[in-house]
Amino acid sequence: MWGVWLSVPDLVSFATPSARPRAVVFGCAGLEVTADEAAFFRDADPLGFILFRRNCDSRDQMRRLVDDLRASVGRADAPVLIDQEGGRVARMRPPHWPAHPPMGVFGRLAERDPAAGREAAWINGRLLAHMLAEVGITVDCAPVCDVPVEGAHDIIGDRAFSRDPALVIALARATADGLLAGGVLPVIKHIPGHGRAFADSHAELPVVEADRAALEATDFAPFRALADLPLAMVAHVVLKAIDPAAPASTSSIVVREVVRGPSIGFGGLLFSDDLSMNALRGDPRTRAEAVLAAGMDVVLHCNGDLAEMRALLGAVPVLSGAAADRWARAEAMRHPPEPADIAALTNRLAELLGPAQA
């Protein structure tokens, strides 16, 4: 079994402010932790880390990297995140790891055979978890719960399961259950919805013009149905009908009225989307201050730029008491992987998806 699981004494001590890590998840620059990075992480004590393609070369290399990141903060249970959705968004790729299909493939299967679609999505989540757990990763930034609309920017595209919120709900739930069965925590994204965006928030700030009723019926529906899950990532998208002045990630109005409020009712831990994205304005410190002021529990800074990390550090406090409680509840949902015949599951997934990928 890989990983260290929090015991009751751990949860109690973690509630003490002096024991809390800082409310940030950092990236690193390359395939190994440099001496400068290790020293910075030791002093900064981030909650955890996030890996990208630049950090993934082989199983042995990734295991060493993950171990060294955790060693730098002196916490064997520090979360290590990755965006491993399948399709275009896959940091771990062949030849060292199997390719997984984009989530839209499961939606097409479910349109023809809902039960087969749910089964395939669960197996896919379980296989993703196996791949991640092998190298010590404990959190997958998936599933995508956005509901695309006609003409929207293809930054979401086939990363979404479907344009039908009911199918998104069913398949995202199955994927999350598969990840949890494999000992990996899912992160639902991009709450409260990125599917209507006509721009890529990596490059610019999208503004969604839809009225409140349309958002409630479509965009918010999957997140509302999955609000019991422990972790979510908040979009850098302006919902003009709710707060025309700020993206959701920096809008206390959206967080209070929609994400935490009756529209969705999410009670888990909120990550911001990456602070490095061009949808946000200002320097790294200003961006960190803005997302935390809006109600994010943890900020994500992903590009591995050490100078930027140093610049924003002073804006990031230790986890608040409420955030620490939310993180503890999330960790309590993570269990050692359930036994699974990985070869049999791989064969079954190929059997189910054959027609969907034809």
Active site residues: 202, 273
The answer to whether 319 and 297 are in contact (CB under 8 A) is: yes
Q: Where are the alpha helices (DSSP H) in the chain?
A: 8-14, 35-44, 59-73, 103-112, 114-134, 165-181, 212-214, 221-225, 252-254, 284-294, 306-313, 321-332, 342-353
HEC profile for 202-215? CCCCCEECCCHHHH
Q: Where are the alpha helices (DSSP H) in 52-102?
A: 59-73
What distance in Å separates the CA atoms of residue 37 and residue 30, rounded to the nearest whole number? 10
Q: ∠ CA(318), CA(322), CA(328), 5° rounding?
A: 85
The answer to whether 11 and 37 are in contact (CB under 8 A) is: no
Estimate the crossing angle of helix 35-44 against helix 306-313, to 10 degrees: 20
Tokens of residue 216, six digits: 């409630």
What distance in Å separates the CA atoms of residue 332 and residue 261, rounded to the nearest whole number? 24
Estimate the crossing angle of helix 35-44 against helix 59-73, to 10 degrees: 40
CA 178, 23, 313, 255: dihedral to nearest 10 degrees?
A: 90
Query: What DSSP string runs through 118-153?
Result: HHHHHHHHHHHHHHHHHTT--EE---B-----TT--
What distance in Å separates the CA atoms of residue 148 and residue 43, rounded to the nearest whole number? 42
